[in-house]
Amino acid sequence: MEIKGTTKLCGVFGYPVRHSISPVFQNAAFHYLGLDIVYLPLEVKPENLPVAVQSLRAFSFVGVNVTIPHKKNIVALLDEVDEEVELLGVANTVLNKDDCLKGFITDGKGFLRSLREEGGFDPAGKKVLVFGAGGTAYALTASLIRAGTSTLVICNRTRERAEELKKHLKGNFPHCHLEVIGFDRRFDPGVYKEVTLIVNTTACGMKDEDGILVPPEVLPESVFVYDVIYNRQTELVQAALRKNLACLNGLSMLIYQGAVSFEIWTGLPAPIEVMKRSVLAQRKLL
C-alpha cells in the first residue's frame, strides 16, 4: 500500500479497537481495486467521540465504521441517518459527503447477503428460530422479517428482553408471526419442528467454557445453522458440521457487513473473495 499526498482516509472508531479485523479486509479491498484510500484503526475514548466526529470533516474522511462502545452515541452527532438507523437507534457506518455525515447500520444487510450469497439460503416464507435479544438480534430479526420470514421464534436467556424484542418487532412489522419461548425450551426437539434456520445472535460460544447452545441431538436433520460469533468455531458450529448441516459462522457476516460499508463509501461492488482471503490469510487458515 502506497500512501501519497492524495491518499484519502477511512477507518474504524472503537475503544478498544486493536482487536478489529476490519483494517485487514478493507485495506485489501481498497488495494485490490487500486483505490487511493487507507483504512486505519482509530482508538476513540467515549469522552472524545464528539471531537472525533468533528475530525471526520476536518480531515475530509471518506467515512468510518463505528464499533463498541460508540454505536449508539454516534447517532446524535450525525447530520442524517438512514431508515434502519432510525428504527434501531444505532449506526456502524458513517459516510462523509461534502461535510454532511450520514449514518448507516450494515449488520442486517450484511447478514442477509451472507446468508443468501454464501449460504445459498433464502429466508422468505420460512420459520426461523433466533437465539438472543441484544443489539445484534434487533438488527438481524428486522432484516429477516423484511426478507419475508413468515414466523420468527425468539429464545433468550432473559425472557423479558425477548418479550421487549417481540414488542418492538410487532410495532414495526405487524404482519409477521412472532413467538417467544423460554430458554430451557431449547432442549425440546418439538421446538424445532418446521424451523429451517437457527440463528445464534448471543455471545454464548465466545468462550471455551460457554458450552453448547443447542445440543446436537435436537438439531433437526435439514436445518441451516448460522452463528454470528467469529472469534472461534463454536460448539454449535462444530455440531452442525459434524451432522453435515448447512452452516455459516460470524466471519461471513463480518465480511459482508464490511462489504456493505465499502459499497456505501465507494459506490463500487466490494471484492468479497479478496476480503475473505485477506482475513483467512491473517488468521493463517489458508
Ligand X SMILES: NC(=O)c1ccc[n+]([C@@H]2O[C@H](COP(=O)([O-])OP(=O)(O)OC[C@H]3O[C@@H](n4cnc5c(N)ncnc54)[C@H](OP(=O)(O)O)[C@@H]3O)[C@@H](O)[C@H]2O)c1
Q: What is the greatest pairwise CA distance in the chain?
A: 63
Which residue stretches of the chain are H helix?
22-32, 49-58, 83-88, 107-113, 135-146, 159-172, 235-242, 250-266, 272-282
As measured in angstroms, the least distance from the Cβ of 4 to ligand X is 32
71 belongs to the catalytic site: yes
Closest residue to ligand X, Cβ-based? 134
Cell numbers given for 237: 458450529
Report the distance separating Cα 233 and Cα 192, nearest Å: 23
Active-site position among 45, 71, 126, 127: 71
Residue 223 or 253: which CB sits closer to ligand X?
253
Residues that bind ligand X (CB under 6 A): 107, 132-137, 156-158, 161, 201-204, 206, 210, 228-230, 250, 253-254, 257
Residue 150 or 183: which CB sits closer to ligand X?
183
- Nearest 5 degrees, angle CA 8-CA 14-CA 16? 130
Name the β-bridge partners of 13.
42, 66
DSSP string covering 69-115: T-TTTTGGGSSEE-HHHHHHS--SEEEEETTEEEEE--HHHHHHHII
Q: Is 269 helix (H, G, I), strand (E, B) or coil?
A: coil
Cell numbers given for 271: 471484492
Name the β-bridge partners of 177.
151
Residue 96 or 261: which CB sits closer to ligand X?
261
Q: Of 108, 111, 68, which is closest to residue 84 (Cα–Cα)?
A: 108
Q: Residue 101 — φ and ψ, nearest 5°?
A: -100, 120
Residue 61 or 138: which CB sits closer to ligand X?
138
As measured in angstroms, the least distance from the Cβ of 108 to ligand X is 10
Q: Is 11 helix (H, G, I), strand (E, B) or coil?
A: strand
Q: Of 278, 255, 227, which is closest to residue 110 (Cα–Cα)?
A: 255
Residue 54 or 158: which CB sits closer to ligand X?
158
As measured in angstroms, the least distance from the Cβ of 227 to ligand X is 9
Report the distance separating Cα 244 and Cα 131, nearest Å: 21
Q: Residue 219 — φ and ψ, nearest 5°?
A: -70, 125
Q: What secondary structure letter does DSSP report for 150?
A: S
As measured in angstroms, the least distance from the Cβ of 169 to ligand X is 15
Residue 8 or 24: which CB sits closer to ligand X?
24
User: Annotated active-site positions, please?
Assistant: 71
